[in-house]
Amino acid sequence: MRILMMFALGLGACLEGCPWPPLAPCPERTGGALISFEVAGDEIDLWITNDAFIDTAIGLLGEGPSRVPNFLEIVAGTDCDERWSWHVDPQQVEWADFTIELCDGTPSYIEAHRDAWIQDVGQWCPWSAAVMSVDDRR
C-alpha cells in the first residue's frame, strides 16, 4: 500500500508540473518528420527531411523490419534524440531492399564506437530496423 501511495503522489506531482501529453522531441521543427525506429532492442528518434523517405516510412508503419533504411551520413553531435551523441543527415537517406553488412549496427554500438564508425564506415543501414512512429510535420 505504501508503494502504491508513493506512486500516486509522484504521479500527481508530475501531472501538475509536467506537460501532458509529453512533448515530442524538437517540438519547434517543421518541414520534415520525426521518425522513431526500433533496432534490435534500441530505440532512436531521427529528424528526416527527405519527403520520399518519410512517405515510405509512413507506409511501413507496423510492418516490422521489411526494408532497410540507409542513412548515408552519420554526424557527430546530439540532435532531436538526446540519448545519442550522433545523428544522421536528415536529407541524405534512402530505403533499400538490401545493403552491405559493414553498415549494419545498433544505435548503442555506434554510440560506443562513434568516432571510428563515422571515420571508417560513415553511413548506417540497420537491417533489423522497424518504423515505430512517424510524426509528420511537413
Rounded to 5 degrees, what are φ and ψ at 41?
A: 95, -15
Instruction: Assess if residue 6 is contained within a domain.
Output: no
- What pLDDT was estimated at residue 90? 98
Instruction: Assess if residue 19 is contained within a domain.
Output: no
Q: Decide: residue 71, CB within 10 A, 0-12 exposed, 13-18 middle, 19+ buried.
A: buried
82: containing domain:
25-136
Q: How far is CA 114 from the centre of its chain?
A: 16
Instruction: Assess if residue 45 is contained within a domain.
Output: yes
Task: Determine contact, residues 92/124, Cβ cutoff 8 Å.
Answer: no
- What pLDDT was estimated at residue 66? 87
Can you give the pLDDT of all 138 residues of the chain as single tens digits?
A: 444 343 444 444 445 555 555 667 899 999 999 999 999 999 999 999 999 999 999 999 988 888 999 999 999 999 999 999 999 999 999 999 999 999 999 999 999 999 999 999 999 999 999 999 999 999
Instruction: Assess if residue 81 is contained within a domain.
Output: yes
Omega before 25 within 30 of 0, i.e. cis: no
Number of folded domains that form the chain: 1
Instruction: Assess if residue 12 is contained within a domain.
Output: no
Instruction: Assess if residue 20 is contained within a domain.
Output: no
Cross-strand bridge partners of residue 33: 48, 136
- What pLDDT was estimated at residue 10? 45
Instruction: Assess if residue 8 is contained within a domain.
Output: no
Instruction: Assess if residue 62 is contained within a domain.
Output: yes
Q: Which residues contact 43 (CB under 8 A, 6 or more apart)?
A: 36, 37, 83, 107, 132
